[in-house]
Amino acid sequence: MNDPGIATALLMGGFVLLMLLRVPITFSLALASIATATYLNIPLMAIVQQMVQGVRSFSLLAIPFFIIAGEMMGRGGIARKLIELANVLVGRVRGGLAMVNVVESMFFGGISGSAVADVASTGTIMIPLMKEAGYDDDFSVGITVTSATQGIIIPPSHNMIIYSVAAGGVSVGRLFLAGFVPGLLLGVSLMAISYILAIKRNYPRGSKYTLKQAVKIFGDAFLGLMTAVIIMGGVISGVFTATESAAVAAVYAFIITFFVYREIPLKEFKGILYSTLKTLTMVMALIASASAFSWLMAYLRIPAKATELLLGVTDNRILLLLLINVLLLFLGMIMDMAPLILIVTPILYPVIVGKLGISPIHFGIMLMLNLAIGLCTPPVGSALFVGCAVGRIPIERATRAMLPMYAVMFIVLMLITYIPEITMFVPNLIMPGG
């Protein structure tokens, strides 16, 4: 009594049903795996072993280090310093504060890979500031939320590490490098739409700085931005692995936050550790149960069947990529990032990399951008929710104001999907091969 068709339905259907019934995703994955293994007479010992082996990975160790570094910098007031720096750089343009918002998120993304953290710490400063200067509140929330997603694409990004592990060990260094240009492209496009809207709605210019002020602001932010330099420098030069550079960056962030910037006392470190723990619980436990789940998916040859199914719909490369993007955008609307990466990567990897011959690096960036858009869309969009909570406006109003930004993000997604050079140029130049 072990029909693979029934087992597949049990695994996938059980998971989706439990998840829709509001059972946490980690446990939905685990129970669906347990039920399927029982049906297939696979010893449950293998399932629990798979859960442990799935997280016993040196690459994954980078995630706690990146998150703790970002948390310390965030609480230590880095956002305000980066906002001032961005203000010096782009504040004078019409719609200056919107530009500042985007550029700040670019910098912030170089330190922390969490869009939600960016919305929370940047939004609390920028949204009231923009409202005061005469920007519409829904526009202010919209630009804060959409620009924060740059953090996922601009390295370092812990979601890229999750992808690297889910894809079976894609080079984290190359992934990081590949994120630069797409991240910048997204930022510049968001600035362009802000500029157009700013002229139409007559949003003001920002304030002027003297050279002396500018130098001081740059010096202040410089030490924080060094975190990004350490990480990227270490990974690119091959001196550190991504995990090691994350550890060095975390120690560096500790020293900068508590002994140089000193905006918060050392005793707050305990609270920072606790909130890091809470964030990590959500991400890491999920990887454990997802690895048992994807092991069973591979056992049941679900990725191969999905490939056949997709190729059965169309074997036109352009249409297939469009179809996959639409599918990912839809899934991104209802699910959070980390679980989607863990479940979707093993299923789509054979089609995209095996059949279409697309580089795993290119696919990784495509996936990140798709899911980044998902973070800004209802009904489930954590960045959007935090942004609306900070800006105190209803979600429906924010999404209506964000329509032009969604359009921009979609155009960027299409460019990145169909022009691989945008993504692949930098990694091929700096870290060829692999």
Partner 1 sequence: MKRWLLSMVNLVHILLINVSKVLLIGMLLIVFANVILRYVFNSGIMWSEEVALLFEVWFIFLSLGLGVKHRLHMSINLLQRESIPSWLNRTLDTLADIVFIIVGAVMIVYGIRLTQFTMRSIMPATRWPAGVLYLVLPFSGVLVVVESLLHIAGWNMFDEEIDKYLSGKGGSLKDIFRSRP
Site for partner 1, rule CB under 8 A: 18-28, 30-31, 34, 44-45, 47-49, 51-52, 55-58, 60-61, 64-65, 68, 239-240, 243-244, 247-248, 250-251, 267-268, 270-271, 273-278, 280-282, 284-288, 334-336, 338-339, 379-380
Cβ at position 278, least distance to partner 1 in Å: 6
Cβ at position 272, least distance to partner 1 in Å: 9
Q: By C-alpha distance, which of 101, 118, 119, 125 is closest to 203?
A: 101
* Closer Cβ to partner 1, 220 or 244, answer by number: 244
* Closer Cβ to partner 1, 163 or 252, answer by number: 252
Cβ at position 21, least distance to partner 1 in Å: 6
* Closer Cβ to partner 1, 18 or 408, answer by number: 18
* Closer Cβ to partner 1, 66 or 176, answer by number: 66
What does the CA dihedral 301, 302, 307, 311 come to, rounded to 10 degrees? 110
Tokens of 412: 């960027």
* Closer Cβ to partner 1, 26 or 157, answer by number: 26
Cβ at position 48, least distance to partner 1 in Å: 5
d(CA 273, CA 244): 19
Cβ at position 164, least distance to partner 1 in Å: 16
Q: How many CB atoms lie within 10 A of CB 237?
A: 11
CA distances from 204 to 93, 94, 210, 341 (A): 9, 6, 19, 40
* Closer Cβ to partner 1, 233 or 354, answer by number: 233
d(CA 196, CA 163): 35
Cβ at position 111, least distance to partner 1 in Å: 17
Cβ at position 40, least distance to partner 1 in Å: 15
DSSP string computed for 1-21: ---HHHHHHHHHHHHHHHHHT
**Tokens 């343009």 appear where?**
93
Q: Where are the alpha helices (DSSP H) in 314-381?
A: 317-334, 337-349, 360-375
* Cα 313–Cα 318–Cα 321 angle in degrees, nearest 5: 70
Whether 374 contacts 324, CB under 8 Å: no
DSSP string computed for 382-393: HHHHHHHHHHT-
Q: By C-alpha distance, which of 63, 77, 177, 57 is closest to 113?
A: 63
Cβ at position 284, least distance to partner 1 in Å: 4
337: Cβ contacts below 8 Å, ≥ 6 apart: 152, 159, 371, 372, 374, 375
* Closer Cβ to partner 1, 60 or 368, answer by number: 60
* Closer Cβ to partner 1, 75 or 81, answer by number: 75
* Closer Cβ to partner 1, 163 or 385, answer by number: 385
DSSP class of 267: G
Whether 107 contacts 87, CB under 8 Å: no
Tokens of 45: 């010992």
Whether 170 contacts 361, CB under 8 Å: yes
Q: How many CB atoms lie within 10 A of CB 209?
A: 17
Cβ at position 66, least distance to partner 1 in Å: 11
**Tokens 């699910």 appear where?**
335
* Closer Cβ to partner 1, 275 or 428, answer by number: 275
Cβ at position 24, least distance to partner 1 in Å: 3
DSSP class of 205: B
d(CA 282, CA 64): 12
* Closer Cβ to partner 1, 129 or 251, answer by number: 251
Cβ at position 230, least distance to partner 1 in Å: 11
